[in-house]
Amino acid sequence: MEKITLIICGACGKMGQTVMKLALKDNNFLIKGGIEVKGHEMIGKKIEGIPIYNDLSEILEKGDVVIDFTTPSATIDFIKKVEEKMGKIVIGTTGFEKNQMEKIMLLGETTSVFFSPNMSLGVNLFFEIIKYAVKLLKNYEIEIKEIHHHFKKDAPSGTAKKIAEIICNEKNWKIDNVLKYGRSGFTDIRKFEEIGIHSLRIGDIVGEHYVYFGGLGEIIEISHRCYNRESFASGALKAAKFISKKEKGFYSMEDLIKEEVLNV
C-alpha cells in the first residue's frame, strides 16, 4: 500500500511532536518534513530523522497532506501556499477570527481542507450526544464550562464555542444574542434563552468540557475529559487519511464520523 506523505506544521510544539510520534509508528504514513517559525533553534536540524524547515513552500510538493497545529496567523499563511499548490491540509489550530474562518472555508472551493476545533474522535462523538440531549431536554437551562492548562492562549476554547454553536443550531437561537462569557456584578435574573460559558486556566490540564442542563430540583451533567494529547493527534491522522482520498471540499470531523463511524 502506498503511504500517505505528511508535512507537520508546528512540528516542535506539543501537538506537533505527538502527531509525529504517532505517525512514525503508523505504517500508513511517511513524514517528509516539519515546519517551524523563522528563527526556531531546530530549523535545519532533524527530529527522529525528520528535517525541520521554516518555509512550507520548500517541501509542500513532497507531501500529500499538511497537518497544522500552530497559530491563526501562521495557518492563514499556510493555506495560501496550500491553495497555490493545490495541496490538502488538516487544521487543528484554534482561536480564529470570523474573517480568518471565512478564508479557511473558502479554501474548500479549490482544494481539500479538513478543519476541527477539537480533533479527538471522542469529543466529536460527545458533540453528537449534546445534539441529542438538547432535543430531549427542551425545557432545561444550559451552561458550559471548559478547563485547560495555563499555557492556552484563546478563551473560550474552540471546543466550547463549537458546543455553543450546536446548542444554538438545535434551538434556533442566534448565538451572539444568547452567549454570556462568565458573569460579574449585578446580572439580573437569568433568561432561559441564555448560555453561560465559563473558562478556567489552571495547571497542566489537557482539556475538560462540561455541559450542564438545569431543571427544577435537578442538574444533568455531560462531560468529556482528555488526559493526554494522543487522542487529538490520533484524530488528526484519521483526518489526514480521510482527506487524502477526497477531492476539493471543506470537511470536518462530523463528515468523518458520518462516513466512517455512523456509515451515513
Catalytic residue annotation:
148, 152
Residue 47 belongs to what H/E stretch?
A: strand 46-47
* Cβ atoms of residues 114 and 93 within 8 Å: no
* Cβ atoms of residues 236 and 124 within 8 Å: no
CA dist 4 and 65 (Å) reads 7
Q: Which residue has the cell 450526544?
A: 129
Burial of 60 (0-12, 13-18, 19+ CB in 10 A): buried
122, three cell numbers? 471522542
Per DSSP, the residues of 137-158 read -TTSEEEEEEEE-TT--SSS-H
